[in-house]
Amino acid sequence: MKHLLKLMDLSKEEIDEILDTADKLKYEKKNGITHHILKGKTLGMIFEKSSTRTRVSFEVGMYDLGGAALFLSSRDLQIGRGEPVQDTARVLSRYLDGIMIRTFAQEEVESLASCGQIPVINGLTDYCHPCQVLADLMTIREYKGEISGKKLCYIGDGNNMTNSLIVGGIKMGMTVSVACPKDYAPDAEIMKWAEATGRFTCTDNVLEAAKDADVLYTDVWASMGQEDEAAMRREIFKGYQINRDVMNVAAKDAMVLHCLPAHREEEITAEVFEEHAAEIFDEAENRLHAQKAVLVKCLA
């Protein structure tokens, strides 16, 4: 695996391998065992959007592995003043061993990878969020013992998270249901691919989607870049929420995940969020371990 641009590019075996390495790295970190596998390597982290988890977990991850990470805000880079991504890629390839980028267009990540000579890791685009979903799959496996055969239900906006959850969940043998308003469905091509497996449904009926779900997942109604639509979206998405009614139709031992940041009383009630805080914050922690596994696979 040279890059991590989107989960569609990974086989089930590659995802399994990342999750196994992540589990091992987590165990070792908890037991004070260190390996400086990336000694002398430098990761550049380009951010065109805000971040708490992605930034800190990648930076700590590189440090844990013996390497270094540079935080590169697009506000300060020439890319923010219009320097083409093709040139940025060729320049950064001369200094760095890898790039993590968070931006708007998926095409920008893909062209960074094709024009540069170093591994590129997608730290979120409008299209997908592969690093988050690797951590989510790791968390599901920790809590449920296995991923295959479980039902994942996503409620809310059909956004970057939904796209990656559908691809990751289906590839790992899950059944995936999505509940979203009609005009806010996930990517059409991804849905077509998922439907062909016979393990995917998309509906505007929340309780129907949530029925017997083993994992319930939600994300913000307005993503980064959609701040102007936030008020309108609050109206449109009313009811697309993980709450007591949803928990009552899901499996008795259903777990709840949220990529964070969360908006209480919008996509999830404060009550359900706090009841499932253990899972949600394990999930956030697992960003570190899963990304270290990705860094080892791409940069070592």
Give catalytic status of residue 3 as yes or no.
no
Which CA distances in Å does 18 have to 134, 139, 174, 290? 8, 13, 18, 7
Q: State the angle between helix axes of 130-144 and 277-299 in degrees (0 to 180), rounded to the nearest 10.
A: 120
Q: Is the Cβ of residue 161 or residue 254 nearer to ligand CP in the bound state? A: 161
Query: Considering only CA atoms, which of 279, 10, 242, 254 is closest in space to residue 139?
Result: 279
Looking up tokens 């239900």 gives: 153
Stretch that binds ligand CP, among 45-53, 84-92, 179-187, 235-243 (CB under 6 A): 45-53
Q: Spot the catalytic one: 102, 233, 258, 289.
A: 102
**To the nearest whole angstrom, how small is the minimum distance from the Cβ of residue 232 to ligand CP?**
22
Query: Considering only CA atoms, which of 142, 195, 203, 139 is closest in space to residue 170?
Result: 195
Give catalytic status of residue 132 as yes or no.
yes
- Does 101 interact with ligand CP (rule: CB under 6 A)? no
Q: With CB cut-offs between 5 and 8 Å by kind, which of ligand NVA, ligand CP, none does residue 175 bind? A: none
**To the nearest whole angstrom, how small is the minimum distance from the Cβ of residue 276 to ligand CP?**
16
Q: Quickly count helices (H) and strands (E) in the chain.
A: 12, 9
Q: Spot the catalytic one: 3, 129, 141, 258.
A: 129
- Does 259 interact with ligand CP (rule: CB under 6 A)? yes
Is 9 within 8 Å of 299 (Cβ atoms)? no
Stretch that binds ligand CP, among 13-21, 24-32, 49-57, 104-112 (CB under 6 A): 49-57
Which residues of the shown chain bind ligand NVA in the complex (CB under 6 A)?
124, 159-161, 219-220, 223-224, 259
Stretch that binds ligand CP, among 52-60, 188-196, 210-218, 268-276 (CB under 6 A): 52-60
* 226 φ/ψ sector (left φ>0, alpha ψ -120 to 50, else beta): alpha
Give catalytic status of residue 36 as yes or no.
no
CA dist., res. 223 & res. 281, Å (int): 20
Q: With CB cut-offs between 5 and 8 Å by kind, which of ligand NVA, ligand CP, none does residue 220 bind? A: ligand NVA
- Does 74 interact with ligand CP (rule: CB under 6 A)? no
Is 293 within 8 Å of 38 (Cβ atoms)? no
Q: With CB cut-offs between 5 and 8 Å by kind, which of ligand CP, ligand NVA, none does residue 41 bind? A: none
Give catalytic status of residue 102 as yes or no.
yes
Q: Is the Cβ of residue 80 or residue 261 nearer to ligand CP in the bound state? A: 261
Give catalytic status of residue 129 as yes or no.
yes
CA dist., res. 299 & res. 278, Å (int): 32
Q: With CB cut-offs between 5 and 8 Å by kind, which of ligand CP, ligand NVA, none does residue 160 bind? A: ligand NVA
Is 296 within 8 Å of 65 (Cβ atoms)? yes
**What's the Rg (C-alpha) of the chain?**
19
Which residues, numbered 225-254, are part of the site for ligand CP (CB under 6 A)? Answer: none
Q: With CB cut-offs between 5 and 8 Å by kind, which of ligand CP, ligand NVA, none does residue 52 bind? A: ligand CP
Is 214 within 8 Å of 150 (Cβ atoms)? yes
Structure tokens at 89: 């890629």
- Beta strands 215-218; 42-47: pairing state: unpaired
Give catalytic status of residue 241 as yes or no.
no
- Side-chain-side CA neighbours of 114 within 13 Å: the count stands at 6
- Does 281 interact with ligand CP (rule: CB under 6 A)? no
Q: Is the Cβ of residue 41 or residue 160 nearer to ligand NVA in the bound state? A: 160
Q: Would you tell me which residues interact with ligand CP (CB under 6 A)?
A: 51-54, 124, 132, 259-260
Catalytically active residues are 102, 129, 132, 219, 259, 287
